[in-house]
Each structure stands twice: as structure tokens, then as C-alpha cells.
Amino acid sequence: QYPTEPPDCLVDFPVQFAISWMPQNSLIDIYNQFLAALESLKEFWDAMDEIDGKTWVLEPENPTRSATSRRIAIGNNVSVNVEVDPRHPNMLPECYFLGADHAVNPLRIKLNNNMHLWDPEISLLQNLKDVLEIDFPSRAVLEKSDFAKDCGICYAYRLDGTTPDQVCDDPRCGQPYHRACLYEWLQGLPSSRQSFNVIFGECPYCNKVRKSNENE
């Protein structure tokens, strides 16, 4: 339908690339709109590049330019998943902590108590450090294998593209699992009990009672 309709454009953007098009427009007009869109997303990509360069990103393993989330290692079997708004990259992102309760609860408390300290004038990564009162593990000191622990059930790190995101709450155990593996394991235990879509059963390693939500 060109030139009455614009050509299809495939871009690796975190937001929709909406073309303003009139029949008298040319491909150069699309190119200029593309450049303007690139410039509008520069702050977002700068923020994500700093995270990718200065922290251990567990997921996604090879982020595309359209990826808006990062799962960042904090410690052994402790991480935070941040979902960044590409239009407002320096605002407080959605944060979801993964790990044993004794390790992540203090981080949740710090986030709630320090939200008022968030300063959109400084970088996303520096804000996360200040609000959570932590220094993220450095690439210069540690290896990614320090955080990439295999699942205690399937003995693999990646399963269908996902990494272990469930951890036994017992500080003496702390064994990580894929959510799907743990859910299947607990379903097979005669002693497990289920309430709606949450199933309760024993950790395969230490026998501590734990729960798994299939859809959480």
C-alpha cells in the first residue's frame, strides 16, 4: 500500500514506534522519526547499560534493547528484579526480591523506609544502592558463578530459559530451585497439602516445610 500507507518498520524498542505518516512523506521522514525516537530513549538505555556493566545481571542473559527488566544479583541466592519504565527511567522502578525470607525481608523494609530518598536527578543504579543501603557485587571481585547456583531438583541452572528463583527459607540450607521443579516435587509428596494454587511441603534437602505457588 506504499506510499498511501507507511512501510512496516521492525525496531528493537521498549516502546511502540508509532509512525506519523502522510502519502506525501518519504522514507527519509521515517528515518528522521526513528532518530528522534532513539534520542528519546537514550536516558533509558544509559540506565540499563550502567546496570549491565556494573552489576551481575542474572536475567535476561543477553538482554535486547527492548528489555525493560533486569534480575540483579545481591548475594548468594538473593536477587532483585527491577522493571524500569522506559519513558521515566530514573523514577523508582517496580522491585521484586527473590530469595529466602530472612534475606529479602530486610531489603523490603529498607525499600519501604527509604523510598522518600529516591532522587530522579541521579542514576537509577545509584538510587538503588542508596535506597537499599547496599553495594551490588562487583564484576571485578566475584564471578557470576557465585550467584548462578543450579536447581537442587533438576541440577541445571537454566530450565526453559528460566533460572532458579525459589530458595529454602532455612538459613542453614538456602538451596535454590526452579519454581516449576519445586512445584512438581511438592505435588509428588504424599505429605504435601494444597490451598488454592499454593502447595506446602518439605524442602528436598533439609525437610523444612516450604511453599510453592505455580503461578506466582
pLDDT digit string, tens, across residues 13-22: 999 998 888 8
DSSP string computed for 29-72: HHHHHHHHHHHHTHHHHHHHHHHHHHS-EEESSS--TT--EEEE
Instruction: In the chain, list all ranges with CATH 3.10.110.20.
Output: 1-146
Give the pTM.
Answer: 0.76
Strands 57-59 and 69-75: what pairing? antiparallel
- Residue 19: phi and psi, rounded to 5, are -95, 130
Instruction: In the chain, list all ranges with CATH 3.30.40.10.
Output: 149-213
Nine-digit cell string for 42: 537514550
Can you name the residues that pair with 25 across neighbouring β-strands?
none
Fold of domain 1-146: Ubiquitin Conjugating Enzyme (3.10.110)
> Angle at which helices 101-114 and 124-132 pack, to 10 degrees?
110
Q: What is the pLDDT of residues 136-156, one digit of tens each?
A: 987 766 666 666 788 889 988
Fold of domain 149-213: Herpes Virus-1 (3.30.40)
CA–CA distance, 152 with 171 (Å, rounded to integer): 16
Q: What is the pLDDT of residues 20-32, one digit of tens each?
A: 888 888 889 999 9
Q: Which of 205, 209, 138 is nearest to 173 (CA)?
A: 205
N- to C-terminal Cα separation, the chain: 45
Q: Which amino acid is at 80?
A: V
In whole numbers, what is the pLDDT of the chain averaged over residues?
Answer: 87
Percent of the chain at pLDDT > 90 equals: 44
Kindly report the length of the chain.
216
The Cα-based distances of 129 to 17, 94, 143, 151 in angstroms read 32, 15, 20, 28
Confidence of residue 196 (pLDDT cuts 50, 70, 90): confident
Q: What pLDDT score does 199 carry?
A: 85
**Per-residue pLDDT for 216 more than 60?**
no
- Residue 47: phi and psi, rounded to 5, are -65, -45
**Per-residue pLDDT for 210 more than 60?**
no
Q: What is the pLDDT of residues 58-102, one digit of tens each?
A: 888 889 999 999 999 998 788 899 999 999 999 999 999 988 888
